[in-house]
Structure 1
Amino acid sequence: MRPILLAAAALIAAPVLAQAPAAPNPQIDYPGFQALTADVGPQRAERLLPFARFKAEAAKPEVLLLDARSSDAFAAGHIAGAVNLPFTDFTAESLAAVIGANPNRPILIYCNNNFRNDAAPVRMKARPLALNIQTFINLVGYGYPNVWELGEVVDFDDPAVGWVRG
């Protein structure tokens, strides 16, 4: 009897679901996102740094080491010298406040999927959804072309990483 009720409910709901789609939200541009992603892909492929070079670049005074994980995850642990701006808080204004007036400032990024530990506070994300990807795309999309990414997987317990526990 239960399958018959589910089938009847589906038949009743079908006309509602089949109605014309709502007008597109003018504040969301998926084709623009697709184009930006296609444009950024080759650049990102050339901007993946081995760990030793990443650490050397991060030590330079003009370089920003940006951690886009949540505030809670950052507080629980991060690479020494990193500045936190959660990805969910990215806006033109918040990025300018953290990055400064020079849009060409070198920005280094890392995220959960750069750590093999897969333990709090850096639980691994699904590979196609790794925060590194969205962070890189968004920084370039907001007008910051000098983005570089840690291209290796490291152990946050390795003293060379410089992990600061919260």
Structure 2
Amino acid sequence: MRLCLPAAVFCLSCIALAPPAAAQDAGPVAPGANPLIDYSGYVALTQKVGPYRAGRLLRAADFRRRAASSGALLLDARSAEAFRRGHIDGAVNLPFSDFTAESLAQVIGPDRTRPIYIYCNNNFRNNVAPVMTKSIQLALNIQTFVNLVGYGYPEVWELGEAVDMNDPAIGWVRG
């Protein structure tokens, strides 16, 4: 049997690139195997924060008035691109994916009791870019609220209504 050289090199390279049997998928990882992820702790935190959050949902007019008050922070946790394309006037952007103790302290400042006002795509009933409606169970407000409280910022307030981004009272700024 005669094997041409390019085919032989290809076959040998495939064998060399194949992962060893031990490195192949060995099935699921046991819960708790990663010491940097605590799903049970997250569930417990959300159960604790849920009733607290329910009392911190504001009507649009009250939200805008409070967010504009001295010392308040209007936080937009959407992506930097979505923020660039439009946001509520006066908002500061820190994408949710960038939340760490350090980044939050840098944006919020040293006062852990500073009032923080949040909103997300699901606060706008328009469902047009840059505020496309997300699955209601996964609205960014939920994770943002839980994370802020979890990181030690208890004075979180949330826009509790779905509003029209074209309503001048909202103060939407297009990018």
Question: In the alignment, does 2:23 pair up with 1:25?
Answer: no
Between structure 1 and structure 2, the one with the greater Rg is 2
Match of 1:113 among 115, 119, 122: 122
The residue aligned with 1:90 is 99
- Stretches of structure 2 lacking an aligned partner (at least 5 in a row): 1-23
The residue aligned with 2:155 is 146
The alpha-carbon deviation at position 21 of structure 1 amounts to: 3.6
Q: Tell me the matched-pair count.
A: 151
Question: In the alignment, does 2:43 pair up with 1:43?
Answer: no
- Seen in structure 2, the aligned counterparts of structure 1 residues 20 and 99 have a Cα distance that, compared at 3 Å, is closer
Task: Give the superposed CA RMSD.
Answer: 1.5
The 5-angstrom pairing of residues 51-130 of structure 1 reads 51-130=60-139
Q: Distance in 2 between the 1:50 and 1:66 partners?
A: 17
- Could you state the TM-score of these two structures normalised by the residue count of structure 2? 0.83
Q: Distance in 1 between the 2:35 and 2:125 partners?
A: 40
- Stretches of structure 1 lacking an aligned partner (at least 5 in a row): 1-15
SS at match of 2:165: coil
CA contact (8 A) 2:76 2:91 kept: yes
- Seen in structure 2, the aligned counterparts of structure 1 residues 17 and 78 have a Cα distance that, compared at 3 Å, is same
